[in-house]
Amino acid sequence: MVNHRRHLIEDMTIPTLCYTGIDTELLFTHNQPLLGYASYPLLAKSSTRAIIEKMYIDLIALAKRYQTAVILDAMTWIASSQRGAMIGLNEHQLRDFNLDAIDLMAQVRDRCGDLPTLLSAQIGPREDGYQANNQMSANESLGYHSAQIDTYKLTKADFITASTLSYPEEAAGIVLAAKSANIPVVVSFTVELDGNLPNGESLEDAIAKVDGLTKRYASYFMINCAHPSHFSHSFTQQPWEQRIKGIVVNASKCSHAELDRCETLDSGDPFSLGKEVAEICRQNTQISVVGGCCGTNLDHLEQIMKNLRES
């Protein structure tokens, strides 16, 4: 585990670009089937590994054009024991995939120059992130996620991002596991059309609960896997909002239930998406991490960066 970039994580003030839409891009653009929606097994195939590597390289190139920092996110979002077992993988295989995913990003960073580049080890929910089913306590979440998090101590990952979480207790367990492993961690909740988490809690209450259970160990919070129209109204210049430093948006305005039923990719409107993200950032200057999630690609990221520059 490398901590020499910890200050970049804790003091995230420079504009930083990230991209977590690799899964949908692989599935819909490159026609790669994802068993159990897991993309990390594709690292074992040279052809798809090359596609993934190019996505990272292209992301860094875009960040260089706009002279901003960049976060590379590992394809390990559901590389945990229960989700891995569902597609026939054991703990040893999962450990190897987690290590390999971080190693690929580290190789890309080493080759792509001196652009400020952070490596994020992605952790996802134990269950479906769009539904708050079979909820765990914070202690149960700590026990479940510790194995994956402990693996990252052996890597060059700079921090952990827990993404698309639907209730605060699971988030708190992940934060506690990261704290035990002495790894910085970021928590990203997803929200429904009303701006609340899938379990019905508000962002304010969820963040307060996680901070209370973990003594504010999380470096910051984010919102991901939602369209700006779903959560822009949640920002009303309240003190708690200062804990939210990132928004990683979907291209589509559809609800999670509608997205689950989609057989084709809804790429939305990159131009309006870029404007909406820039407007949220203009009104909430603490937000410094921006990016694309499901349904987005480099066109959406380009529009986000272009509008941020002009705002």
Annotated binding site for Zn(2+): 225, 293-294
Nearest to 73 by CA among 46, 108, 42, 44: 108
Distance CA 94, CA 8 (A): 29
Quickly count: other Cβ atoms within 10 Å of residue 223's Cβ.
Answer: 24
0.85 exceeded by pTM: yes
Class of domain 6-310: alpha beta
Bridge-partner residues for 16, per DSSP? Answer: 69, 289
Tell me what the pLDDT averaged over the chain comes to. Answer: 94
Residue 3: pLDDT band (50, 70, 90) is low
Instruction: Return the residue matching tokens 């295989």.
Output: 93
Annotated binding site: 225, 293-294
SS3 286: coil
- At 4 the pLDDT is 47
Amino acid identity at 228: P
Distance CA 128, CA 160 (A): 19
- The model's pLDDT over 121-178, given as tens digits with 9 standing for 90+, comes to 999 999 987 888 899 999 999 999 999 999 999 999 999 999 999 999 999 999 999 9
Burial class (CB in 10 A: 0-12, 13-18, 19+), 214: buried
